[in-house]
Chains A and B, each alone.
Chain A
């Protein structure tokens, strides 16, 4: 009888349990793994991405808001060439193709500004959201957006763009849901026009956020104001400014560095507390990021009289965090008689910030001016203030209650953000500090970029970008008429009588500390067709202080890149587009010729065999950072050791259990070079040996030896393992932090101080390299580390990465009409039609 019933009760119970378990892991995420059902389903799950990885060769879609037909031809690199009859239709098409290729990136970046990442990824993002809310970027961006006129480009184009994005989202099937959303078990949200403003605010945070005043405050408490001024000078000790100063070489303005004063422990405690709070906001609380990490952007233009073909040339080379998908997305937009531009767009915005049209090419680097000031406010209550005092009168603080939500919309936490008339406030060290920041003023960024894209000459481009607000950018440009120009464009504050220096904490109780207005356009650092025949920016100090001593900022990166580019351009009076490309990836660093001799000669006795081995390696080195070089790694490690040993007086704070407190900040190596001219300066003294007073050569020798021994221990005796290519790699991380979707260990050339610098964790680098020749027909070349598609399954996710790593550039097709793009160069076609 029991046999007739089939399986035993145990088998049945087991089957029921297995079924329950399988259904559970099918429907619910378990541990870190996503729900298996919707993921592994071969029809609607992740496998469906194989079917959508390559777009159909020919497709037609209907968009309700479209006014007319738009044709989009994708070239053989997946770059869309959009042919529309109006700007708004072009913006709709741009939104549609951005959404198709980069939807997760767009949503994540918008959420990062809005502080709603936790709603997408869960509670682990609460800290990120809290930081974003405290920064208040979204609130300020929204205010700025709402203040725009209804006919402004910032309104009309972003609204049309949002319609394009939402047309894609609305028509999206389950098969189209991007990979990352599947892992998170989420669906994309609809796109609001204000999100474009969010993205520019985010860019502002990346480019213009600075807690420099707070760092400087801590340094001053540690070593005194005179020493702090010398270590973190307002004017760079080596002058090779953006606005040419008539020199034919960089100028060394070395001065004596005053000895460190005794620390002021009371001030230091407050300063460190403030600094830690600000760093938490910036997410930068680790020492690696505080070192003199060689990051930065470059751009330059060359006048026709210095080029081989007699045509103006322009190079753009913005350096940013390296991510997959890339921060950039290439596109051409054609609206007859209105716009014909090729460039890199930011997914989430309709107009390329960098690119070229039929007459002009342009690119930007970050000016890095001081556009954020911190004010110590006098408040009525030290823990729960409601008012703050200005010129003896009380003013009410405004409040913003921020509710941070997790998945499903439940509230995880609430924060109260206070604002003075200057901006959001930070509470730390018993003080209330408010921050005035140009980014918070919000403005139409789309308009100036559209104006640049439509300009027919460098002069017109200047005119179009006059209103560009923030973050201040060094716009380099060249036109077909043979003109070249550079201008640091953005709003530079005029500080009040009580705040001449923006690098110090300001007294918020006086209105005299407030900003009084903005620099006039004529005062911006600039050059138009300068006699030298070229213009260069590499984030260096924009104006020579001997030409204009007014305060514009102080935190200028080391000028090595600028020096090297200027050297190469001065040395070549027949420059070709390929020479421009080679400059972008030159493995030579301008700094080595200054540091290397002192490293080699630091031990006069020659008795130490390890030092002799190290010294021989360095002496025989040609100073290049190419992949096969075996001494570059020793040089870089020595430089890091040298900084650590020299700046040991700058260590403070830290937590229990650390062998040494952390360094508050690290002066740039130009300051180190300045110090090297003074062999007996007290800064050379090693704090760990109170009985001995070290001099320069003692520290250099110890640094070379320590570097050599560290490398021998880590890599063995000098040999293949010491090759630069094995020790210095770029790391292109996935934007959402999913390690498996990033590409670590990408070989690169370049090292500290080279034009394409590589240092730190390898996560920064050239985000887009572009060369443009402004001839009768404008020709462009470019590449970025990634690919057009944000779909990790797509062959176009990383198809440009190898070219970027090798330092080569793609020729960029620039057809006038859809029919001009050769069939062999066309990978697919998309027709966007107005919905009936």
Chain B
């Protein structure tokens, strides 16, 4: 079970990294797709949220290898009148919220349509 969860988290993180290459807006799209695909899994939205956070953390680490990410945090923090650490947290929270909320909403729709399908099938059988 745990291994299964871990695998899905890794997979969704990779998907989120790829989505980020398109643009930030692809994160909620990926989250929604994941939420819809895993609508039977109650942990799906959380996995999507964590996946987004892990993906952006990884991308930030990649940026950090390539240049002075701390300068970015300090400068953006100064502009937004907040501490640099808050800029990191804000970035990750933004990704996490997009991932979890989009997955949650899409899962609800997916379940709704699944139920409609199930009921349709049941009435056909009846």
Contact = CB atoms under 8 A, between A and B. Distances in A.
B104 A793 contact: no
B72 A6 contact: no
Contact of B63 (A33, A47, A738): A47
A740 B68 contact: no
The CB with the most chain B CB atoms within 10 A, among A22, A26, A48, A53, is that of A22
Contact of B104 (A5, A12, A47): A12
Contacts, number: 119
Contacts of A37: 23-25, 94
Contact of B72 (A12, A738, A793): A793
B12 interface: no
Given A41-B20, A43-B59, A792-B75, A22 B98 contact: yes
A51 B75 CA distance: 15
Interface string B72-96: 1001101111000000001100100
Contact of B20 (A12, A23, A33, A42): A42
B102 interface: yes
A38 B28 CA distance: 14
A137 interface: no
A39 B56 CA distance: 13
Interface stretch (A13-21, A281-289, A627-635, A671-679): A13-21
Contact of A741 (B24, B68, B79, B91): B79
Contacts of B15: none
B92 to A, nearest CB: 9
Interface string A36-77: 111111111111111111100000000000000000000000
A11 interface: yes
Contacts of A49: 67, 72
A7 interface: yes
B81 A51 contact: no
The CB with the most chain A CB atoms within 10 A, among B23, B79, B107, is that of B79
Nearest to B66: A51
Nearest to A22: B97
Given A5-B111, A6-B111, A47 B60 contact: yes
Contacts of A183: 79
B116 interface: no
Contacts of B104: 7, 11-12, 15, 19
A179 interface: yes
B21 interface: yes
A122 interface: no
Contact of A6 (B23, B42, B98): B42
Contacts of A41: 20, 23-24
A11 to B, nearest CB: 7
Contacts of A47: 59-60, 63, 69, 72, 91
B75 A50 contact: no
The CB with the most chain A CB atoms within 10 A, among B76, B91, B104, is that of B76
B66 A42 contact: no
Contacts of B108: 6-7, 12
A795 interface: yes
A45 B71 contact: no
| Interface size range of chain B in the complex | 35 or more
Contacts of A12: 104-105, 108
B116 to A, nearest CB: 13
A7 B106 CA distance: 12
B101 interface: yes
A179 B73 CA distance: 12
Contact of A40 (B62, B67, B90, B101): B90
Interface in A706-755: 738, 740-741
A180 to B, nearest CB: 10
Contacts of A26: 24-25, 94, 98
Given A40-B24, A44-B23, A50 B79 contact: no
B101 A19 contact: yes
A23 B28 contact: yes
Contact of A19 (B28, B56, B62): B28
Nearest to A20: B101
Nearest to B44: A6
Contacts of B69: 47, 50
B5 interface: no
A42 B56 contact: yes
B24 to A, nearest CB: 4
A46 B24 CA distance: 12
A22 B79 contact: no
B64 interface: yes
A42 B101 contact: no
A740 B79 contact: yes
B59 to A, nearest CB: 4
B24 A45 contact: yes
Contacts of A16: 101, 105
A741 B71 contact: no
B76 to A, nearest CB: 6
Interface in B32-68: 42, 45, 56, 59-60, 62-64, 66-68
Nearest to A47: B63
A794 B111 CA distance: 49
Nearest to A33: B80
Contacts of A48: 63
A15 B100 CA distance: 8
Contacts of A51: 63, 66-67
Contacts of B105: 12, 15-16, 19
Interface string A163-205: 0000000000000000100010000000000000000000000
Nearest to B76: A46
Nearest to A6: B42
Nearest to A54: B67
A787 to B, nearest CB: 13
Given A41-B23, A42-B56, A53-B67, A179 B75 contact: yes
B33 to A, nearest CB: 14
A467 to B, nearest CB: 44
A52 B24 CA distance: 19
Contacts of A33: 80
13 contacts: A15-B45, A15-B100, A19-B102, A23-B25, A36-B94, A37-B23, A40-B24, A42-B62, A46-B76, A50-B64, A50-B66, A50-B68, A51-B63
Interface of B: 20-21, 23-25, 28, 42, 45, 56, 59-60, 62-64, 66-69, 71-72, 75-76, 78-81, 90-91, 94, 97-98, 100-102, 104-105, 107-108, 111, 115
Interface of A: 5-7, 11-12, 15-16, 18-19, 22-23, 26-27, 33, 36-54, 179, 183, 738, 740-741, 792-795
Given A12-B105, A15-B100, A42-B56, 12 more contacts: A15-B105, A22-B28, A26-B25, A36-B90, A36-B94, A37-B25, A42-B60, A46-B76, A50-B63, A50-B68, A54-B67, A793-B72
Q: Which 6 A-B pairs have the closest CB atoms?
A: A740-B78, A50-B67, A19-B101, A42-B59, A41-B24, A15-B104
